Amino acid sequence: MKPKNINRLVVLVAPLDWGLGHATRCIPIIKALLELNCEVVAAASGAQKALLEKEFPAIRFLELEGYKIMYGNDGLSTRLRLIGQIPKIFRMIRREFRWLKITIEKEGIDLVISDNRMGLNTKNIPCIYITHQLQIQTGNRFFDKLAQKLHYRFINRFQECWIPDYESGKNLAGALSHPVLLPKATLKYLGPLSRFRKNEQAMKYDVAIILSGPEPQRSILEKIICEQARLVPGKKLILIRGLPLETKPLNGLPDNLEHKNHLGGKELNDIIGQSDLVIGRCGYSTVMDLAVLGKKAVLIPTPGQTEQEYLAKHLAAGNLFCCMQQEGFSLKAAIESGRLFPFGDLSFTSEEFRSVIGEHVMRLSGDQQSKYR
């Protein structure tokens, strides 16, 4: 077992590998923990690990296998494919539970913060679960209730559940984060989680296209964008592919389309600020980032991902973002829709989570000091 420094909490932070969003929204949490003099150990693999390593080269990383969820080529095949992967998900949850038991002893972990990894819980130390989906959307009321009941069984094994949204008033996730029935675990609303900060920039691009999410849907949308960029020759575009492990560039692109395989947080923050409009997926982490930046955007839900389809309806109804379907998508029409959409108030902030983390760390630090007296 690693020698214990009673003056520093060792915090394990582990994001789900379902797209990059779970990793990006852990960035402000890790920064806050480091500012509170905690020792952070990140558990991830693949693209999520690569992204976090670029942001935090000085912290320790543990290899934790991801779920490696794959989507279909359309909405129906994605739903069927997700159903077929349910047994694999439960195997990973059981594996996480066994892995955590060994890791706590080996690494001297004091606190676990799990972003949607349901198996990372134990009764031996405090474990916190992060999710914005207290109500999972399946597209069917019966399965909605069944999924929620099952999800709550896992949530209730954690000491606390942290929800990245506002508790009342204006919110981003709607019924996803504000269901009628709540879990028994202690709930704390963090407000939006974003690694970005709003800053004034000179406009350089007409549109920034930011891709993310599981394959093959990420590549399908990328192909659509690249083919249609030629149809808007007067617009200067930049494509952020969301591929932190990719080293080869795209070839054969039109002159008006610049591209990057991946950008670090600061660089991406600047690019968004330099763009008049953003086009991207309707993933919740993307939604939080754009809301905090107050950036006008056209969002495209991933076909078959019911959570994103619900978010698109909720956000469009509130005039927060313009949303369009991928089927029959037109880049030219999206740019025009973004120009004409009656965007509402996007005055969201991303600071509320700091007090929640600070209070928890202070309480846990006091408990640890008492334990070793």
Q: Parallel, antiparallel, or unpaired: how do β-strands 205-210 and 237-240 relate?
A: parallel
How far is Cα 356 from Cα 113, in angstroms, rounded to an integer? 13
Does pLDDT of 206 surpass 50? yes
Specify the length of the chain in residues: 373
Q: What is the pTM of this model?
A: 0.88
Six token digits for residue 218: 């990420």
Give residue limits of the domains in the chain. Answer: 10-193+350-371, 205-340
Structure tokens at 288: 């939080």
Q: Looking up tokens 């990973």, which residue turns up?
A: 92
In this model, does residue 82 exceed pLDDT 80? no
Q: State the fold for domain 205-340.
A: Rossmann fold (3.40.50)
Strand partners, 61: 42
- 109 CB-side CA count, 13 A: 31
Q: Could you tell me which CATH number the domain at 10-193+350-371 has? A: 3.40.50.2000
List 111's β-bridge partners, or say none.
Answer: 11
Quote the tokens at residue 59.
């912290």
Q: What is the pLDDT of residues 226-248, one digit of tens each?
A: 999 999 999 999 999 989 888 88
Categorize the per-residue pLDDT at 373 as very low, low, confident or very high, splitting at 50, 70 and 90.
Answer: very low
The pLDDT of residue 6 is 56
In a 13 Å sphere around the CA of 283, the CA atoms on its Cβ side amount to 23
Q: What Rg, from alpha-carbon coordinates, does the chain have?
A: 21
Q: What per-residue confidence (pLDDT) applies to 371?
A: 53
What's the whole-number mean pLDDT along residues 46-73? 88
pLDDT band (50, 70, 90) for residue 19: confident
Average pLDDT over residues 71-88: 76
C-alpha triplet 233, 238, 240: angle, nearest 5°: 145
| Dist CA 114 CA 214 (whole Å) | 20
- H or E stretch covering 44: strand 39-44
Cβ–Cβ < 8 Å for 220, 73: yes
DSSP 101-136: HHHHHHHT--EEEEES-TT---SSS-EEEE-S-SS-
Q: pLDDT at position 372, please?
A: 45
176 CB-contact burial (10 Å; exposed 0-12 / middle 13-18 / buried 19+): buried
The mean of the pLDDT values for the chain is 90
Phi first, then psi: what are they for 210, rounded to 5°? Answer: -115, 115
Tell me the HSE value of 187 on the side-chain side, using a 13 A CA sphere. 20
C-alpha to C-alpha distance for 110 and 8, rounded to whole angstroms: 9
With CA atoms as reference, report the closest residue to 196 among 267, 297, 247, 138: 267
Residue 5's pLDDT band, with cuts at 50, 70 and 90, is low
Q: What would the pLDDT profile of 86-138 be if each residue is shown by its tens digit? A: 788 888 889 999 999 999 999 999 999 999 999 999 999 999 999 999 988 88
Token pair of 126, please?
A: 């405090």
Check if 10-193+350-371 and 205-340 are the same fold. Answer: yes
pLDDT for residue 83: 77
Give the position of tokens 């592919």: 241
Q: Is the pLDDT of residue 2 over 70?
A: no
Least confident of 119-128, 144-153, 228-237, 329-338: 144-153
Joined tokens for residue 30: 């890790």
Between residues 70 and 54, the one the model is more confident about: 54
163-193 confidence digits (pLDDT tens): 999 998 889 999 999 998 999 999 999 999 9
> How far is 172 from 299, CA to CA, in rounded Å?
14
Give the three-state DSSP class for 300: strand
- 285-319 per-position pLDDT tens digit: 999 999 999 999 999 999 988 899 999 999 999 99
Amino acid letter, 130: I
